[in-house]
Chain A
Amino acid sequence: MNESSNGRPGGYNSVVCIKQVPDTNKVTGSAMKADGTINRAALPAIFNPEDKCALEAALRVKDRWGGTVTVVTMGLPAACGILREALMCGADKAYLLTDRKAAGSDTLATSYILSKAVAMFKPDLVFCGRQAIDGDTAQVGPQIAEKLDCAAVTYLTGLEMDGDFAVAVRDIGTGVERDRVHLPALFTVSEAFGELRPAVVKRAMKYKKAKAPAENGGVALEGDLAIGQISCDDIGAEAERCGFAGSPTRVSNIISVVLAGGNYKDIPATDEGVASLVAELCADHTIG
């Protein structure tokens, strides 16, 4: 830390909530089941794009002001893939929150469970992606902040530290806003913040071997290569607020988007064709 730094001794401890999601940009006919639901297994599982930006935000704070970066994901053991990715890019510690009790959680239950997990680390800063591409709700971040009763700064585009405060720039749709925020604080980060740095080669070689007990016959690895594994009981989450039991919303019905159409009027790609189309639109006052 040089003298001009406006951080504080010891830096800042960050927790980043990340999620493994099906790559919904790759949904094609083969990924749709006959009943109109999505066959998640047919889609590649990826590190949610905006959660990568959230990790980048935490790593930049660590680079400049010191401290630690811890990543947490809630999901099945397969989600350890993105924890390893995060370790390769510079995260210090990774935790898998996996528990049957968490199954079927909507945003309210998810934010409750994650808030209990985050609280365990007593972070100064919490980062979440703005939203996940499988749900696009953007609800979990603000809901974690409400449960932690800390400041929530959504749509983060820039961040500076100043002692026990953060000075955050956020997109407010109609412009940008600069806020002075007392720590601890939670930030939701969108693609506008910046892309996640690539993995460091040395770290990639090392952390590709990192594993959670769930991937290793229940046995924790030694030292740095251990991905921590926690359950709802470990974080003191009440069962009735987790999973389906803790989720007030129900899916009543799902339909796949089937475009009826095909009955358009075919206009020849000629001067005459286009002229007749324009004439028709003028005649019915659509234009002119």
Chain B
Amino acid sequence: MTDRTKGEVWVFAEQEDGRLSGISFELLGKGRELADRLGVPLAAVLMGSGVESLAVGLFEHGADTVRLVDDPELKIYRSKAYRHSMVELVKEIGPQIVVFGATHIGRDLAPAVASALRCGLTADCTDLRIGDYSDPKTKNADGTPHLCKGVLLQMRPAFGGNIIATIVNPYNWPQMATVREGVMKPLDRVSGRGGTLVRHPSRLEGVDIPVEVLEIVRRTSSVDLKGSPIIVAGGAGMGSKENFAKLFDLAAALGGSAAVGASRAAVDLGYCEHDRQIGQTGQTVRPRLFISCGISGAVQHLVGMQESAKIIAINTDKDAPVFKVAHYGIVGDANEIVPKMIRAIKQKGG
């Protein structure tokens, strides 16, 4: 590789069953910003079997190039097959940045790729920027810290969300990161926007893959909070599973697009299933309106919802941390406020 700063920015375009995952578009949105800042092309790496038609959607959401690796061996995600093809592709092309979604696939694939390439990897980033890094451990001849220009600054929550660390990988490129779902904004689709499709071999001939997928059973009722413009979320303060269920009535009153979420405490208490959990170990959301009911607001929860456009917090404890991120606060019992809110909405609508 000649000048590494000329390398492309890559996003891993994740697909399952021939459908692109939402994270792929979110990554393209951020990738576009990084590539423009560096003045280099943005490429999406698309792997699978019979997935060429998905390239159009990647171009329309910001990719300049789609690097397609199409092979029957890649039909279903398997760690070693995807890792091997990805590693070979990185070695051949030499991108400067490669980002993956922090999904089940991304969190399986990215560490293996980074390990094989012996480069750094930052998990679960909530922001990525281009900037300079002054390295205190590597000195210039005059004793000043070595300045690494135009590196990828990788921000991630750590210690259960209590701190945000900025991680850099200044020397062993490519710079790699996984990105939390629901954090980056996809670009608006530009119909007809095209790009360059480049086909690459999988290089899987003679590679022994020790895993055979016997069966996949998809969950049908998986709750997608990320797509909901309005979220009503409940915490331990709801007091019981029956009380928690009232939140569904509020969501229904707010219209079909409102969804119900929960804090970890509510999930742990069995008020609802884990797929509704919001926060560090659940989903990250940023709806137009977030109504927080009986959630005190542990930082692990707040990192998953504080970007919401409008936050209404309802809690009996006026000192609850949730009020620090709220735009509207109601100090009171959510079990009393929620019915009032339903009535007010119905009156307004009727």
Contacts and interface: CB of A to CB of B under 8 A. Distances in A.
Interface stretch (B3-11, B55-63, B67-75, B166-174): B166-174
B38 interface: no
B120 A269 contact: no
Given A108-B120, A261-B323, A264-B313, A133 B165 contact: no
A201 interface: no
B247 interface: no
B103 interface: yes
Given A174-B16, A264-B329, A267-B328, A248 B119 contact: yes
A287 B328 CA distance: 15
B161 A151 contact: no
A113 interface: no
Given A138-B123, A177-B216, A178-B215, A252 B115 contact: no
Interface string A149-166: 011111100000000000
Contacts of A22: 159
Given A249-B169, A274-B340, A279-B348, A138 B111 contact: yes
A115 B255 CA distance: 53
B114 interface: yes
B348 A182 contact: no
Nearest to A185: B210
Band of interface residues on A: 35 or more
B227 interface: no
B308 to A, nearest CB: 11
A68 interface: no
Contact of A174 (B112, B222, B289): B222
A286 interface: yes
Interface in B159-189: 159-172
A25 to B, nearest CB: 6
Contacts of A203: none
Given A24-B159, A269-B337, A151 B330 contact: no
B120 A106 contact: yes
Nearest to A149: B80
B289 A286 contact: yes
B214 A257 contact: no
Interface in B213-243: 213-219, 222, 230
Given A146-B115, A278-B344, A288-B349, A254 B165 contact: yes
Of the listed residues B83, B115, B163, B329, the one surrounded by the most CB atoms of chain A closer than 10 A to its CB is B115
A5 interface: no
Contact of A108 (B118, B288, B328): B118
B212 interface: yes
A24 B160 contact: yes
A268 B314 CA distance: 11
B119 A274 contact: no
A205 interface: no
A260 B324 contact: yes
B89 interface: no
Nearest to B302: A259
B121 A107 contact: yes
A250 B135 contact: yes
Interface in A194-230: none
Contact of B104 (A139, A171, A271): A171
B8 to A, nearest CB: 20
A244 B153 CA distance: 19
Interface in A132-154: 133-143, 145-147, 150-154
A153 B214 CA distance: 14
A136 B325 contact: no
Contacts of B324: 259-262
B326 interface: yes
A120 interface: no
Interface in B309-342: 309-310, 312-313, 321, 323-333, 336-337, 340-341
B124 interface: yes
B341 A147 contact: no
Given A108-B120, A281-B310, A250 B167 contact: yes
A234 interface: no
A136 B123 contact: yes
A136 B156 CA distance: 10
Contacts of A41: none
9 contacts: A141-B111, A152-B112, A244-B137, A252-B166, A257-B163, A265-B329, A266-B329, A269-B330, A271-B340
Given A174-B222, A250-B168, A267-B329, 20 more contacts: A38-B159, A108-B114, A108-B119, A135-B123, A142-B111, A142-B115, A151-B80, A151-B210, A151-B211, A175-B216, A175-B217, A179-B211, A249-B122, A252-B153, A255-B164, A259-B321, A269-B330, A269-B332, A287-B230, A287-B345
Interface of B: 16, 77, 79-80, 83, 103-105, 107-108, 110-112, 114-116, 118-124, 133, 135, 137, 153, 157-172, 210-219, 222, 230, 254-255, 280, 288-289, 299, 302-303, 306, 309-310, 312-313, 321, 323-333, 336-337, 340-341, 343-345, 347-349
